Amino acid sequence: MNSPELPTLDLKHITTGITAAGLIDTAFHAYNAARLKEACQLFTTHLLREDVTIGLSLSGALTPAGLGTSCLVPLIQRNYVDWIVTTGAVLYHDLHLGLGFSFYRGSPGLDDIELRRRKLIRIYDVIIEFDAMRETDRWLRKVFEDPVFRQPLGSAELHYRLGEKIAESEKHLGLGGKTMLAAAYAAGVPIYVASPGDSSIGLVIAERALVEDTIVFDVSRDVNETAAIVNHAKRKGASAAVSIGGGAPKNFLLQTGPQLEDILGLEAMPHDYFIQFTDARPDTGGLSGATPSEAVSWGKIDPAMLPHAVTAYVDVTIALPLLAAYVLERGLEREAKRLYDRRPTMLKDLQTDFVEHEKQIGNLPPDFEPKAL
């Protein structure tokens, strides 16, 4: 007997020639498969609206696995991502491809002592030559000789300029479309790194600091710029957070809510939509496995929007290609927001909102004029 108040599962045969999106809609009915389908459908029906600003966090060795080229570059090129928070390692390995180096198929059972002898480095079942990393470091040293890098920089500006340089390398080598950095540069998508010293990019910058003036990271600028993006998004419409893998990038993406609401005193600032793919358990207390409802308690997610928050416990190397295939097939055309170019205006708006709030509650005198940013 059917229960009239519950929808039945729409069970159909999988047919020859079915697309990835068709497979997800047809056969992903329950458990984490259903959560992945809900995430894909939420992305296409809600997040891709013009009045939604999409922030994406990325962690894990995604670019050595090929997911930068196969998934992230097409999503950026279709304007399905507006801003990114990731790790320096993701971007460092992204650079290898734009310099003409390759990753190789390996095995988790290889002899690591023998690999070390042959100057090969293993990332689980992916192999990269040590020389590729050494040559990437040399390229970075050469790039950082440009005087434009010898000043305090936010990470978005650093990565935008690296994107410009690696786009030139791609063009010279005939490798267009390989790197996420070049795609983000072309689309005006700002890329932030929560821990800028925690990668080989940061290591090369630190090496240069021992002998010459070099980049000084303006971490406060990163915090304020990301808060300004969400502040701007909420002024104009809605903000979406998509977390691929968790970790520090997830927190940096989500902490914009507490920054705006708890620290700056601005109201109604949590994200409206939240999608998370993770293989971390929530019961260990770690951020990577923390649920959307837990994020509500921190002021990171709008409690009224919990029906528009989805967590799928699935390996991101499986989830990201399926998500990308689904939204690229089902998604509509979307205009580029070019948030990188709009950072100064958004930051000024945030400053104005904060100063006005401080004047209203008496923390600043009525005639106070803030410093120029």
User: How many angstroms separate the CA atoms of 149 and 161, rounded?
Assistant: 9
User: How many angstroms separate the CA atoms of 7 and 57, rounded?
Assistant: 34
User: 119, 300, 359, 371: which is the annotated catalytic residue?
Assistant: 300
- Find tokens 């030139």 and name the residue: 168
User: How many angstroms separate the CA atoms of 130 and 217, rounded?
Assistant: 27
Residues 6 or more apart from 193 whose CB is under 8 A from it? Answer: 85, 86, 87, 88, 91, 155, 159, 199, 222, 249
Catalytic site includes residue 37: no
First to last CA, the chain: 67
User: How many angstroms separate the CA atoms of 59 and 341, rounded?
Assistant: 25
**How large is the angle between the packed helices 155-173 and 219-236, nearest 10 degrees?**
90
Strands 309-313 and 191-193, sheet pairing? unpaired
Tokens of 164: 């410009």
Q: Which residues pair with 57 in a beta bridge?
A: 85, 243
Q: Which residues pair with 217 in a beta bridge?
A: 153
**How large is the angle between the packed helices 180-187 and 88-98, nearest 10 degrees?**
100
Q: Is residue 341 a contact partner of residue 91, using CB atoms and an 8 Å limit? A: no
User: How many angstroms separate the CA atoms of 39 and 36, rounded?
Assistant: 5
- DSSP designation for 284: G
Residues forming the active site: 300
